[in-house]
Each structure stands twice: as structure tokens, then as C-alpha cells.
Structure 1
Amino acid sequence: MPDSPRSPLTILLARPRGFCAGVDRAIAIVKEALRRHGPPVYVRHEIVHNRYVVEELRAMGAVFVDELDEVPDDGLVVFSAHGVPKEVPAEARRRRLLFADATCPLVSKVHREVERHHKDGRTVLLIGHAGHPEVIGTMGQVPPGSVLLVETVTDAEAVSVPDPARVAYSTQTTLSVADTAEIVATLRRRFPQIAGPRNEDICYATTNRQQAVAAIAPRVDLFLIVGARNSSNSMRLVEVAQRHGRARAELIGTAEDIDWGWLEGVRTLGLSAGASAPEILVEQVIAACRERFAVTVEDVRLTEENVSFKVPPIPLRKAS
């Protein structure tokens, strides 16, 4: 008896998607450290928010730790792409640890902005998500109390500053562009003299991926975003898909997370990936769909990305 024909499925594949330049650089720093220093190389927190990447690096000899007290005195430690409070490299220097800083250069730009505003006597309002490593790192660039966290429009309406004439705002780099614009508008109305970033803090990769998802969402019956639940930029893509489309949007870590019941009656599927999700995970989703459907893949390209960041020199202990 012949197999029944498979239902057609068109996958609208968002581009750009997946790794950004900051994630590429952070992973390259760990790999170069392993190559030059040899394992183990210690990494403070997840280098990027993706379990596949973490496990791949662990298999190569990376050891992931929560704090520096887990790093032996002769160890080499890499700080994650999200950035760290100033106290972390200060403690590494105090202990004379070797360390490499994989903070994304666009996050470092926000750090310098916050320092500049603090030096100029302004209270900084940081738009971001409480507890996110990037927010913790940014707030940790200046003394406690110098930065106030604003998460929502409601927070922006309620926040109080010592001097309304001396206030500035910065943002986490991986926020929703639309939500952040609402918060900024509220702050500008309340504090007409507020200083903002010289250039947009939300990074190019976050903006590009959100725009690509927004363009595709109205055309699909279901949108899948490949990424991790602790990845801010991936969660924002789900929200963008929900806001701009009428269909369901789901976050999946891998193809194994797909509930195939979601695809009942689906003829057009949107697919993208957060900035810390490797392309192999997207390929596995497409392959899993091909096992069940007659798949046609349509590449939807909104813009080209040609940003790259250099890998810094990896410190090595001098021979005794």
C-alpha cells in the first residue's frame, strides 16, 4: 500500500537570524583560549544564553562557574558576552587571575555611557529586565544607587530622581524596540531635559531580527523561534511575532521541543532564531519538518549584516 502523500508546508525562513557578531566573538574567545591555554578554561556564567553552545564548549574543555571563587589561582577565566560588574575584573586582578573579557562591544558602549553620565552628575535610568546579567553588569559600572532600573511604562511614570534636570537614560541591548520606544517617550515627557544615548543602545542584531519577524508574522499560521528562555532577545522575538501576527508563536530550544499538534492545519510556518542560537538548530527544525511534510523553504531576507568584532589577545601566564 503506497504511503499517503504528505501535506505541503511552506517555511518562511527569516534572515537575518541566529548568531550576531557579539556572540560569534564571545564563542571565538573561549575557543581561542582553549587552543592557546589548553583545557580547562573557566567561564563565568553561560558565555551566551544557549544550552547547545554551552555543552559544545564544555565538551572542548570549558568549565562553567557561577563566581570567581570556583576558579583556581592558576586558572584562566573568560567573562560572558553579557558583561560583568566592575567588581568582577577587580577581584580577578586582586587574585592575579588570568582573564579574558568577552563582553559584547555594544554592551561595553552602554557601560561607558553610564559611567559618563554618572561622572557628569546625572542619575541614570536604565531600561531593562531585573536580574538579567547584562543589567547587573551595567548597573555594576557605577556606585550603588547611581542607576535606577525602569522595566515598564508604569515604572517610567513612577520613578523619582533627586534632580529632574540632571537625568539620563540607557537601555539593555536586547529589548523590544516598540516597548522601549514607549518607555522612552514617557521618560522624555516627564523629564524634558533627559539625556539619551548618542547612538541607539538596542543593538543592530536585536533590531534586525525583530524587524524580520515582524515582516513575516502576518503571513504565517504558526511562528517558531529557536532560542533559550533565559535569552532576552529570543523572548522578544516571540513577543514581536505575537504582536504582528494573528497566529500562535512558540519558543523552542531544539526540534525536540516541537509539539507536532501545533502544526495541524498549518500551511505556512515562520521560523527564526535568537542571536545566541546556532544555525544547526534551525537546520534541525527544518529537517524534522521534512520528515513529516512536503516542505518548501522560502528565504525572507530583510537586510544584510556585515558586522564583525575582533577577538582580543588571550592572556597567557609567563613561563617561570
Structure 2
Amino acid sequence: MLLAEPRGFCAGVDRAISMVEQALETYGEPVYVRKQIVHNEHVVRELQGRGARFVDSEDEVPEGAICVFSAHGVSPAVRDNSARRGLRVIDATCPLVAKVHQEAKRASANGRTIVLIGHADHEEVEGTFGEAPDRTVVVPTVDSARRLELPEGTEVTFLTQTTLSLDETRDIITELTRRFPGIQGPGTDDICYASQNRQNAVKEIAARSDVVLVVGSDNSSNSVRMVEVARGRGTPAYLVNDVSRLDESRLAGADAVGVTAGASAPEFLVRQLLNRLDELGYTGREVVRTTTENVTFAVPGSLFDHAGHRD
């Protein structure tokens, strides 16, 4: 059995969860959270048990109550609506997502059209798109980049969702650069360090495994991308929400099993899966480390101070 390192929680996820926990400890329940704080049902369930109340919209939060914005960020319209309703906002947006928002603001202020590489239905993309909805077009695939039509002379900037596949995003950027030679952008730098590191690690274990299991929820973009990256290396790969939903028939004939976890998946889920694999006879364990992560994002001294930074 090959265990990828790094795996699991990233700095942005750690920070966001810590902010909800600290809000509960400091102010007591209820603390309202707009959307899932991170995309993992087990994390959400645990916080619910401690008094967090998850809502789909800030409109569901009682006026004047505490409302936590999730790690995926929100649009200016959500911020404005929250202010009108007198909500006490705690902003748990990942600092790397906040960086993309700032890039969108700058591009829009400079009169540029923004090509946002990502998935339109993802909360992160909804938030970034909302910074300049009249100047932004979402491009999810190479084919959509190939078919994109913009008026002659349009000044174009591209930005990316932070949790995408590095390889696929590079292909989309190549196509956009071919189509729009004057295009500007941050390269692949918008894709967060954790997504890059976990994708590199899954490539390493996929090359040596008969099957790869990625612990993560179905709505976790970075976890789904890790499955796709492993499959792109020719290795069967599957998303496992938790050990109770492991389809053991997928291990038939597999001698070497690779295990990793998305950036929003808690380590206890990995341990439960490893214990079950031990019971199934996969007792040898090798940690495959491709890099060491030492990034942290500080929780603001005051939760209502939204300035996260990289240590």
C-alpha cells in the first residue's frame, strides 16, 4: 500500500474550520455559516454538532447574527446584502482565493475582459465572477476556450479557480494564448500550492499502483481533480467519501493500492480506510513523500478582522 504525502487538510481549510470553532467558543451558538465551510460532509456534520448552522444564503441568517463566509469566498453582492441586513460577518475566505478576487478587481478596473478558467457552478467561481460579472466569461475546458469569441481588440486577462488540475489548466491557457496573443494572466499561479502538491503526489503513487483511492466528498473540486489526475496516468482511481462507501470489488486483482486525500478531507477518514485495507490484506505500507508543506494561514486576532496572511 502506497500512502501519498502531502494529503488531506491544507492551510486554507485548517484556517476556515478554526475560525468557525473559535466563533463557537467565543460567542456561543448559534453561529451561522453560509454554504459548507469546506466541501466535506463529515467536517460539516461535526461542526453542526457543536452548534454551527449551515445555510444556503445569507438571507436565511437572522438580522444582526454572526455569519461566517466559507473558504470558497463570496461575491460583492453577498457582502453588500450581508451589510444591509446587519450581519456580523466573519470572513473565512482562503487567502489564495482572496488573491484571485483582487486580480479580478484590478483587471476590471483596467477595462479588461476576464476569462475565468473554472466550473461555473462551483462556489469559488461564483464569488470571483461576481467581482465583475459584466466583464467576465467562464471557460471550463479546452474546447470552450477554442470556441470562445470576443470582439476584435478586446484586452483579455485570464484567471483560474484555485482547485483545478494543473495539467488541464495549462492546456486551456495554451489555447487561450494561441487565440488571444495579448492575453495577460498569472500563469498557473492561481492554482493553490495544496492542489499542486496533492496532484503531484497522486501522480507519483498512481505510477506504482494498480488502483488509487482518493478520500474526499463528491462536491470537493480538488478531490475530484485528483481522481482525474490518477486516471490520466492510466491507473483506475476512485473517490471514497468514507470507508463505509468503499466498493471493495474495485480492489479485485490489485496488488498495490495507492491512498491519498483531498485538501478538505480530515485525516481520521484516511485512518479508517487504512484500517479496512489492513483487514483486506494490504498490510505493507510505504509513505511516498513528494514535498513537505510548511504553509500556514493565520486566524485573525479578531475574527471580525478579515486580513488573513501567509506565514
**Same fold judged by TM-score > 0.5?**
yes
1:203 is the counterpart of 2:197: no
- The match for 1:272 is 260
- The match for 2:142 is 153
Quick check: 2:64–2:85 contact (8 Å CA) kept in 1? no
- The match for 1:97 is 87
2:189 partner SS? coil
- The match for 1:303 is 291
Residue deviations 1:62-120 (CA, integer Å, cap 9, x gap): 00001112111231010000010111111111111101011100000000001100111
Q: Kindly provide the amino acid, as one letter, of the partner of residue 263 in structure 2.
A: A
- The match for 2:108 is 118
- The Cα of 1:163 is off from its aligned counterpart by 4.6
- Unaligned residue ranges in structure 1 (runs of 5+): 1-10
Quick check: 2:206–2:258 contact (8 Å CA) kept in 1? yes
- The match for 1:34 is 24
RMSD: 1.3
1:52 partner SS? helix
- The match for 2:213 is 224
Corresponding residue to 1:259 among 210, 235, 247: 247
- The Cα of 1:259 is off from its aligned counterpart by 1.4
Q: Kindly provide the amino acid, as one letter, of the partner of residue 39 in structure 2.
A: H
Quick check: 1:123–1:161 contact (8 Å CA) kept in 2? no
- The match for 1:7 is none
Quick check: 2:91–2:304 contact (8 Å CA) kept in 1? no
Q: Kindly provide the amino acid, as one letter, of the partner of residue 255 in structure 2.
A: R
1:21 is the counterpart of 2:8: no
Q: Kindly provide the amino acid, as one letter, of the partner of residue 183 in structure 2.
A: I
1:296 partner SS? coil
**Which of the pair has more CA radius of gyration?**
1
- The match for 1:4 is none
2:207 partner SS? helix
- The match for 1:247 is 235
Corresponding residue to 1:282 among 255, 262, 270: 270
1:64 partner SS? strand
**Cα 1:198–1:267, aligned 2, differ >3 Å: closer, same or farther?**
closer
Quick check: 2:21–2:47 contact (8 Å CA) kept in 1? yes
- The higher-RCO structure (CA 8 Å, 6+ apart) is 1
User: Equivalents in 1 of 2:104, 2:57: separation in Å?
Assistant: 24
Quick check: 1:19–1:275 contact (8 Å CA) kept in 2? yes
- The match for 1:62 is 52
Q: Kindly provide the amino acid, as one letter, of the partner of residue 211 in structure 1.
A: N
**Mean CA deviation greater in 158-167 or 123-132:** 158-167
User: Equivalents in 1 of 2:12, 2:212: separation in Å?
Assistant: 25
- The match for 1:8 is none
Quick check: 2:115–2:137 contact (8 Å CA) kept in 1? yes
- The Cα of 1:161 is off from its aligned counterpart by 2.1
User: Equivalents in 2 of 1:186, 1:199: separation in Å?
Assistant: 14
1:188 is the counterpart of 2:174: no
Aligned pairs for 1:127-138 (under 5 A) are 127-138=117-128
User: Equivalents in 1 of 2:23, 2:257: separation in Å?
Assistant: 40
Q: Kindly provide the amino acid, as one letter, of the partner of residue 155 in structure 1.
A: S
Q: What is the TM-score of this pair, normalised by structure 2? A: 0.95
- Unaligned residue ranges in structure 2 (runs of 5+): 306-311
Q: What is the TM-score of this pair, normalised by structure 1? A: 0.92
